């Protein structure tokens, strides 16, 4: 199957170019996109507006490949975590977070992550490989199909997508960008630009390219520290792209036409980055590129060296920043199934834990 061309790897424009190479008219591109990403059809023979001979050719030469579900865990609060099989030894995770007026899908971009942030379980697991576009957009496709089965009456179960699962999206730029294009394509998923968020730990050159190519996509920057010394320790990519460079790009985003705000993510680590002094330094740092601040209580995982900041400390930190910046505290969802930020591990070695979780929520 893998040697065949995976049709989920193409954006609409990409399909058009490929169709030209195989002497098919360009109007087949939106037709195929519609079947693949709106009808979720897997059987070429049912794509009745395509000529029969072409359907046969597609069956012979192409495939519709997305990562299959290995396990599904439904949390008491409605959050769903899916473990998706990559190969015999690797898996990635995808999380659905339903709220009153919206539904958010948290999508993975890599198997593991090479950037090794000291507080992140995905980083601690190491890096295996990049996901292809088909494997990334396939997550949104699969979630749509599965949610329709689970909740047939929900009209639009997924309104938002955040690239906040496993991996650093901006070190897997091309497949991620193609998948983003499909997310906002009206013939495919038709999500509003501002409802699709790329979260990055600060891969500066790729941030600049994203700004050029897709300026309206929402951006979240994982800051976590207000000075280089501390950020070098927590987010090692800071050694390559220090705060001066990162904040300069953020200022460019801020000054861009759309004037939309960046969200700064800041994990709250007890006794490490959570004092009022840090809050003061942070307030100063963001002066040139103001944005919304999202404080994330640290989510512990096995063998993690940190503790979550005390609640009163998080509130005091928020209180200090609030005068100048909208500052929210992220509520942890899906805690009971380890679906929260930074808890996504996806490896298949720790079976005992996984089987237990699965039994609890089956």
The least CB distance from residue 335 to ligand SAH, in Å, is 11
Say how far apart CA 338 and CA 341 lie, in whole Å.
Answer: 9
111 binds ligand SAH, rule: CB under 6 A: no
- Any idea how long the chain is? 362
Identified catalytic residue from 113, 117, 133, 341: 341
Answer yes or no: 93 catalytic.
Answer: yes
| Min CB(32)–ligand SF4 separation in Å | 33
User: Applying CB under 6 A, what is the total number of residues that bind ligand SF4?
Assistant: 11
Tell me how far, at minimum, the Cβ of 48 lies from ligand SAH, in Å. 41
To the nearest whole angstrom, how small is the minimum distance from the Cβ of residue 299 to ligand SAH? 4
Q: Which of residues 164-183 bind ligand SF4 (CB under 6 A)?
A: 167-168
Of ligand SAH, ligand SF4, none, which one does residue 72 interact with (CB within 5 to 8 Å by kind)? none
Q: Which does 296 bind (CB under 5 to 8 A by kind): ligand SF4, ligand SAH, none?
A: ligand SAH
Considering only residues 84, 92, 117, 340, which one is a binding residue for ligand SF4 as defined by CB under 6 A? Answer: 117
238 close to 231: Cβ distance less than 8 angstroms: yes
Phi, psi of 64 (to 5 degrees): -120, 95
Which residues ranging from 200 to 219 are in contact with ligand SAH (CB under 6 A)? 200-201
Contact flag: residue 222 with ligand SAH (CB under 6 A): yes
Q: How far apart are CA 284 and CA 294, in angstroms?
A: 16
Residue 32 or 295: which CB sits closer to ligand SAH?
295
3-state helix, strand, coil in the chain (%, to 5): 40, 20, 40
Assess 203 for contact with ligand SF4 (CB under 6 A). no
Note the helical H segments in 151-202.
173-184
Any catalytic annotation for residue 212? Answer: no
182, two tokens: 């499909």
Nearer to ligand SAH, 42 or 233 (CB): 233
From the list 342, 346, 347, 357, which residue makes contact with ligand SAH (rule: CB under 6 A)? 342
Between CA 47 and CA 56 the distance in angstroms is 11
Minimum distance of ligand SAH from residue 100's CB (angstroms): 23
| 46 DSSP assignment | G
- Among residues 237, 119, 234, 105, the alpha carbon closest in space to that of 170 is found at 237
For residue 2, how many other CB atoms are within 10 A of its CB? Answer: 6
Distance of CA 73 to the CA centre of its chain: 19
Q: Is the four-CA dihedral 88, 92, 98, 102 of positive or negative sign?
A: negative
Q: Which does 267 bind (CB under 5 to 8 A by kind): ligand SF4, ligand SAH, none?
A: ligand SAH
Strands 62-63 and 127-130: what pairing?
unpaired
Question: What part of residues 155-174 is at the interface with ligand SAH (CB under 6 A)?
Answer: 164, 168
Long-range contacts of 53-60 (CB under 8 A, 24+ apart): 54/24, 54/28, 58/7
Catalytic residue among 93, 135, 168, 265: 93
Choosing among ligand SF4, ligand SAH, none, which partner's interface includes residue 223 (Cβ < 5 to 8 Å by kind)? none
Query: Which residues are designated catalytic?
Result: 93, 341
Residues in touch with ligand SF4 (CB under 6 A): 113, 115-117, 120, 122-123, 167-168, 201, 222
Residues in touch with ligand SAH (CB under 6 A): 119-120, 164, 168, 199-201, 222, 265, 267, 296, 298-299, 341-342
């Amino acid at each position: 199957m893998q040697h065949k061309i995976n049709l989920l790897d193409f954006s609409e424009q990409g399909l058009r170019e490929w169709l030209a190479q195989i002497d098919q008219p360009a109007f087949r591109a939106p037709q195929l996109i519609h079947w693949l990403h709106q009808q979720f059809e897997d059987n070429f023979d049912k794509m009745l507006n395509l000529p029969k001979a072409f359907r046969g050719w597609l069956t012979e030469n192409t495939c519709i490949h997305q990562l299959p579900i290995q396990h599904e865990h439904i949390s008491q609060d409605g959050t769903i975590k899916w473990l998706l099989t990559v190969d015999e030894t690797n898996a990635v995770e995808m999380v659905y977070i339903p709220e009153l007026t919206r539904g958010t899908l948290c999508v993975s971009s890599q198997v593991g992550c090479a950037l090794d942030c000291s507080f992140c379980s995905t980083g601690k697991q190491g890096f295996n490989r990049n996901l292809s576009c088909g494997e990334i957009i396939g997550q949104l496709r699969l979630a749509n199909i599965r949610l329709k089965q689970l909740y047939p009456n929900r009209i639009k179960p997924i309104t938002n997508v955040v690239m906040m699962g496993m991996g650093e999206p901006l070190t897997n730029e091309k497949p991620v960008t193609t998948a983003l294009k499909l997310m906002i394509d009206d013939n495919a998923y038709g999500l509003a630009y501002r409802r699709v968020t790329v979260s990055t730990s600060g891969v500066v050159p790729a941030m600049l390219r994203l700004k050029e190519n897709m300026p309206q996509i929402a951006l979240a920057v994982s800051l976590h520290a207000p000075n280089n010394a501390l950020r070098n320790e927590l987010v090692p990519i800071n050694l390559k792209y220090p705060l001066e460079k990162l904040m300069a790009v953020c200022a460019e985003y801020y000054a861009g036409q759309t004037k939309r705000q960046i969200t700064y993510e800041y994990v709250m680590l007890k006794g490490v980055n959570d004092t009022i002094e840090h809050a003061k330094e942070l307030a100063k740092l963001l002066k040139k590129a103001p944005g919304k601040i999202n404080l994330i209580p640290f989510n512990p995982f096995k063998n993690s060296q940190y503790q979550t900041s005390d609640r009163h400390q998080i509130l005091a930190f928020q209180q200090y920043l609030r005068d100048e910046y909208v500052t929210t505290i992220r509520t942890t969802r899906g805690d009971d199934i380890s679906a929260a930020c930074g808890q996504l591990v996806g490896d298949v070695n720790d079976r005992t834990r996984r089987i237990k979780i699965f039994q609890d929520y089956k």
